[in-house]
Amino acid sequence: MKVLSGRFPREKRVALDGDITYNGVPQSKLSSRLPQFVTYVDQHDVHFPTLTVKETLEFAHAFTGGELLRRGDELLTHGSPEDNLEALKTVQKLFQHYPDIVIEQLGLQNCQDTIIGNGMLRGVSGGERKRVTTGEMEFGMKYMTLMDEISTGLDSATAFDIISTQRSIAKTLGKTVVISLLQPSPEIFGLFDNVLILNAGEVMYHGLREDALSYFESLGFRCPPHRDTADFLLDLGTNQQMKYQDALPMGMTKHPRWPSEFGLLFQRSDIYRDTLGRLEEPWSEQLLSSASDFMDCTPEFQQSFVENVIVVTRRQMMVAIRNKAFIRVRGFMVIVIALLYGSLFYQLELTNVQVTMGVMFQSLFFLGLGQYAQVPGYCSIRAIFYKQRRANHVRTAAYVLACSASQIPWALGETIVFGTVVYWMCGFVATAAHFLLYELLIFQTLMAFAAWYFFMAAVTPDMHIAKPVSMMSIFTFVAFAGFVIPKNQIPDYFVWIYWMDPIAWCLRAVAVSQYRSPDFNVCEYDEINYCTQYQMNMGEYFLSLYDVPSSENWVWVGIVALFSIYAIFMVLGWAVLEYKRYESPEHITMTAENEEPTATDDYVLAATPTSGRKTPVMDTHTDETVALDVCAPTKKFEHVIVAFQDLWYSVPDPHNPKESLTLLKGISGYAMPGSITALMGSTGAGKTTLMDVIAGRKTGGTIQGKIMLNGYEANDLAIRRSTGYCEQMDIHSDASTIREALVFGAFLRQDSSVPDSQKYDSVEECLELLDLQSVADEIVRGSPTERMKRLTIGVELAADPSVLFLDEPTSGLDARSAKLIMDGVRKVADTGRTIVCTIHQPSTEVFMLFDKLLLLKRGGQTVYFGDLGKRAQTMVDYFEAIPGVPCLPEGYNSAAWMLECIGAGVSHVHDNPLDFVEIFNSSDLKHAMDVHLASEGVSILAPGSTELVFAKKRAASSWTQMTALVGRFMNLYWRSPSTYTRSRYWVGLRWYREAFYRERAAQTYNSLWYFVGSTVAEIPYVYGSMLLYTVIFYWLVGFTGFGTAVLYWVNTSILVLFQIYLGQLLVYALPSVEVAVLLGVLLHSILFLFMGFNPPANAIPSGYKWLYQIAAQRYLLANLAALVFSNCDHLPTYDSEIGQYVDIGSSLNCQPMTDPPVTISHTTIKEYVESTFEYKHDEIWSNFGIMIAFIVGVRLLALLSLRFINHQKR
């Protein structure tokens, strides 16, 4: 699909051979304009989560719908002038409302004003999100549509309606439509004209749909009765094909087995020769005329550059404005820090150049660091840009400019608020010109940093790399800004960084504007004649202390330079996004041609955990049932009947919080041991919501009704300990191997009384059951969708639960994998477990595996609950008995037919007058359900029955939990590809938070041991990395003393460990990465300000001394400074008569200070450090103790946050 649409990423190691033409025009000739003719619907749903469905589609329409308006007069020429004019007016009206038409086509009317959402933000359902992905690419006059797995997450009725619409468009408009599907039902398969069957890169068949069966019959394969044609075709070339083998035709000695053998036979077929013949035919005049009339004159983009910039900017502004938590925290942070700086340095004496330059420097550092919070946001939307750029929705330059323009209001606001407060409260030169100049320079610096972080997000592979690299870059800018290290002390080979540093340019320009003002252009000040003593006036002297040039021209040079740096960073961001995109080909596997066939999947599935009975298996040729002996039971578990009565569930209305939306309305039912109960309904009917309610996974909303286990009112512990829940989203710790993930689940969720050997056996059984043996030792990260789905089920199976909830277990799987999974689920149910499963598009064969059905309609109401019967005949008889319901057509999938009957899908939303809810409520089925619910052991207690009681909240012992979690964290760190810095951890913990929530909901482990694991795993990495840092840095800068070096290493390690633990606290406590980063910037800005460096400890006002005392980092900074600057046993003596020190030792710390401040006539290094910064050597050990206390305090807060705060909204 991606190759045909021109979306396949070209890399050096990727070779593509062959020719692709469109109406005779080679793909290479159309490369940049190809998206205007060919649209590609990706299988991944990538959208802005805070935009609504309608807004997403309206933006897509604005980006691509301009051709017909622009060329209407030219294209509408086949009628009379009056008809053409009328047609043009009609088209223009249609154009204005086309998003509404697409919404109607896709059945999105009910959710058009709902935000898209994502894993942490409640929005539309998965099926609705998939339809938005399809609709986004429906706009524009495209001649060909390529749709990749568009039915994932859709119910079969909705999938049928959407594909039927595509067929109608293809027939009516002469459009070419190519759709890849994973599990097409017979009625969906019947919509297609041609079929292309690919397996392992080999074309097994390409021809007319109706000829496919006869072709494979000619190879010795017969599709049995009641087998879906598409499922039969997908089984060929796999282990499943053995059950379809029939008598060999004349001339064949064996059945083809491997895809390569099928491919070779197809190349020898008449169908293939006919295809080659058609390809060799000359192009028709009509096609060539179409190419010249339409394709040659089509522009690369439908919008002009200016229009594109305006629309993208409007979208980016909408996205930014809706991140309300980020805006509030950012505004609060700016105001707090501005007032803090202003009050701390209130009306400072500008002659104190160290403090003055420090205020300027720290202000720039804070503002630059604040922009760093944009990095996660830029990274998260990069995939959206890739998709829309590939589709020629947006120009790269327009996107870059729009992202930058969307930052202008925030940068301007920060400049006005922060700049005004700091400038006037600190007492800088009180003229309007100097103030406005300061504001301009601050604004330019903010925009330069915004552009720089945008470039960082674009040039790095992912957010794990972008954040630490960005953090490293800001500290590089800080180090080379000319304050910490003056320019004349920067080595020549690094001085280029100084000239590219936006902080350096702004600091230099502000300093020159302040110190070259008339107030400082004097020789004598405060009884010091600077002209006589230093041969320069006062302002020039102060600037010279930091090697800042004194010419006023540097102010204007700084303005130009900052604009140039901003432009350079923008161009770099554009270049990377345009020419370097991180879109590597995914999930490409190679199979050895000489690989021997393995046993059929059917018999691999026979050996299941704790199975000890004969399992019925349907023979596909004879339609008879046979029994397979499976292994004897090895484990015991308690059979559990799940019952629920009159369940109601409501949530606050997002548009009117005072009102509520009822999502479930009086749902009742039960699930018995040894059976599989299907929850079905149209997309958005409430299937997942109902399962979440029954399984106790909801974190919000109001629940009414009763849930019972074996007749006893269910309590939270019983539900979580006795059930397994396979979520629709496959969330795992991606640094573990597949085997490790299963072992983790088995050891932590099976009871501690179960022997370890038995737990390992259950893991091996799960691997075998789910066909994961060959990849068991591969890392989870990067696994394809179907493997992740099998792992999700395996993790829950390894826990050996009595009840298993499965939410869309076959979503994203092909028909063979879906059958493989559901066969395994059937075997698990046959061991006596209770299974409840939501499913959207079951094939006929999969649907037959279920025992009972609970069918919901839109609005969360029951329309059927009862047995399916053999081949679903009981369910079919019930609906066919309802007047007005059409009979099930021959060969039709009964699951799809049932959904169409109740009005599921897109085209049946309002056209069914039957009230199926009322019909069910008055039916014998409803009466039978009520009778069974009222029976003993279901909703009332059975004599002699006992309640599910667990002695412990969690199955595993504390020691097992701790060792498992510490081991997983150690593996996570060792296998993580990201750079190890404290900023990486701010992202890392957020990245795995969803996995933590899933595991905590199942009572897998105590939060305490998760906390211990994250605490212990840091220590070896911190101390190891800091040892490497100390070995290089300590001796390289000239520090001496092995004992001092060891203390320096320990002190630095504790400092970094504190920073990481503080980052963990923020991640545990706060809802998003951006908010955590912003509050981290705020907190660190305050702590760094009061570390005693700038302002020096002796200059901190008494009102702020308490902040100095609680600034944790200042104790370790004091230790670091004291170790290398205050370790002096014998100070020299100052002889005032000769004006020199005498009895000077060899120690660096005892040396007299050269060029002391003008306010200090003489001092030693030790005395200056201790008196000015209060970094005292005698306090080293007490500082260590205080720092350990701070770490303990931060860890306790982190533990409480981990235990009591949950940001998942379900």
Question: Does 655 map to a domain?
Answer: yes
Question: Does 243 map to a domain?
Answer: yes
Instruction: Using the 3D structure, point to which of 535, 557, 579 is the last residue of a domain.
Output: 579
Q: pTM of the prediction?
A: 0.76
Question: Does 1133 map to a domain?
Answer: yes
Q: Considering only 522-526, 610-614, 809-813, 1091-1095, which range has the smallest mean pLDDT?
A: 610-614
Q: Mark whether 424 and 508 lie in a shared domain.
A: yes
Give the pLDDT confidence score for residue 615 in this predicted structure. 42
Q: Mark whether 1158 and 1085 lie in a shared domain.
A: yes
**What gap in Å lies between CA 461 and CA 463, rounded to an integer?**
7
Give the pLDDT confidence score for residue 158 in this predicted structure. 81
Give the pLDDT confidence score for residue 977 in this predicted structure. 54
Q: For 946-964, how does the pLDDT look when each residue is reduced to its tens digit (9 = 90+)?
A: 788 887 888 889 999 999 9
Higher per-residue confidence, 1167 vs 207: 207
Question: Does 409 map to a domain?
Answer: yes
Give the pLDDT confidence score for residue 70 in this predicted structure. 60
Instruction: Using the 3D structure, point to which of 579, 602, 629 is the last residue of a domain.
Output: 579
Total domains in the chain come to: 5
Q: Mark whether 126 and 200 lie in a shared domain.
A: no
Q: For 66-101, how does the pLDDT look when each residue is reduced to its tens digit (9 = 90+)?
A: 655 665 555 566 667 777 677 777 777 777 788 888
Domain CATH number, residue 746: 3.40.50.300
Sign of CA dihedral 89, 94, 95, 97: positive
Calculate the alpha carbon distances from 715 to 361, 694, 997 in Å.
58, 11, 19
Q: Mark whether 987 and 1132 lie in a shared domain.
A: yes
Hey, how many other C-beta atoms are within 10 angstroms of the C-beta on 838?
24
Question: Does 742 map to a domain?
Answer: yes
Q: Which two tokens stand for residue 360?
A: 């300027």
With a cut of 90, say whether residue 716 has pLDDT above it.
no
Three-class SS of residue 612?
coil
Give the pLDDT confidence score for residue 426 in this predicted structure. 92
**What gap in Å lies between CA 177 and CA 185, rounded to an integer?**
18
Give the pLDDT band (50/70/90) at residue 608.
very low
Q: Mark whether 481 and 366 lie in a shared domain.
A: yes
**What gap in Å lies between CA 61 and CA 96, rounded to an integer?**
9
Question: Does 591 map to a domain?
Answer: no
Q: For 638-664, how does the pLDDT look when each residue is reduced to its tens digit (9 = 90+)?
A: 889 999 999 999 988 877 777 888 999
Average pLDDT over residues 725-753: 88
Closest CA to 720 of 743, 699, 695: 695
Q: Mark whether 241 and 277 lie in a shared domain.
A: no
Give the pLDDT confidence score for residue 1015 in this predicted structure. 92
**What gap in Å lies between CA 781 and CA 851, rounded to an integer?**
36
Calculate the alpha carbon distances from 613 to 413, 609, 619, 655, 833 in Å.
72, 12, 18, 54, 13
Q: Which two tokens stand for residue 775?
A: 């990849």
Average pLDDT over residues 198-223: 92
Give the pLDDT band (50/70/90) at residue 1210.
low
Q: Mark whether 1192 and 1161 lie in a shared domain.
A: yes
Q: Mark whether 455 and 558 lie in a shared domain.
A: yes
Give the pLDDT confidence score for residue 584 in this predicted structure. 60
Amino acid at 987: V
Give the pLDDT band (50/70/90) at residue 528.
confident
Q: Mark whether 244 and 280 lie in a shared domain.
A: no
Question: Does 824 map to a domain?
Answer: yes
Q: Which domain holds residue 1187?
A: 978-1204
Higher per-residue confidence, 569 vs 292: 569
Give the pLDDT confidence score for residue 730 in this predicted structure. 78
Q: For 461-515, how does the pLDDT look when each residue is reduced to its tens digit (9 = 90+)?
A: 888 788 888 888 988 999 899 988 888 888 888 899 999 999 999 999 999 999 9
Three-class SS of residue 837?
strand
**What gap in Å lies between CA 1157 and CA 586, rounded to an integer?**
62
**What gap in Å lies between CA 318 and CA 50, rounded to an integer?**
9
**What gap in Å lies between CA 57 and CA 124, rounded to an integer?**
14
Higher per-residue confidence, 464 vs 581: 581
Amino acid at 721: R
Q: For 986-995, how does the pLDDT look when each residue is reduced to its tens digit (9 = 90+)?
A: 443 444 677 8
Query: If residue 676 lies in a helix (H) or strand (E), which one and from where to where?
Result: strand 676-681
Q: Mark whether 1119 and 999 lie in a shared domain.
A: yes
Domain CATH number, residue 179: 3.40.50
User: What are the phi and psi torsion angles at 670 (to 5°)?
Assistant: -155, 160
Give the pLDDT confidence score for residue 619 in this predicted structure. 46
Contact 69, 95 (CB under 8 A): yes
Q: Which two tokens stand for residue 99?
A: 């998003």
Give the pLDDT confidence score for residue 609 in this predicted structure. 39
**What gap in Å lies between CA 995 and CA 787, rounded to an integer?**
17
Q: Best-predicted range by mean pLDDT among 234-238, 746-750, 1177-1181? A: 746-750
Buried b (16+ CB within 10 A) or exposed e, 29-53: ebeebbbbbbbbbbbebbbbbbbbb
Q: Which two tokens stand for residue 130?
A: 């998939």
Instruction: Using the 3D structure, point to which of 277, 295, 313 is the last residue of a domain.
Output: 295
Q: Can you give the three-state secondary structure of 525-584, one letter per residue?
A: ECCEEHHHHHCCCHHHHHHHCCCCCCCCHHHHHHHHHHHHHHHHHHHHHHHHHHHCCCCC
* DSSP-H helix ranges across 236-301: 259-267, 270-280, 285-290
With a cut of 60, say whether residue 1043 has pLDDT above it.
yes
Q: Mark whether 170 and 231 lie in a shared domain.
A: no
Q: Mark whether 274 and 253 lie in a shared domain.
A: no
Question: Does 629 map to a domain?
Answer: no
Three-class SS of residue 1006?
coil
Between the two ends of the chain, the Cα-to-Cα distance in Å is 35
With a cut of 50, say whether residue 617 has pLDDT above it.
no
The per-residue pLDDT of the chain, averaged, comes to 84
Amino acid at 443: F
Q: Which two tokens stand for residue 279?
A: 């390809």
Contact 997, 953 (CB under 8 A): no
Three-class SS of residue 512?
helix
* DSSP-H helix ranges across 1002-1126: 1007-1036, 1042-1069, 1073-1089, 1105-1110, 1112-1125
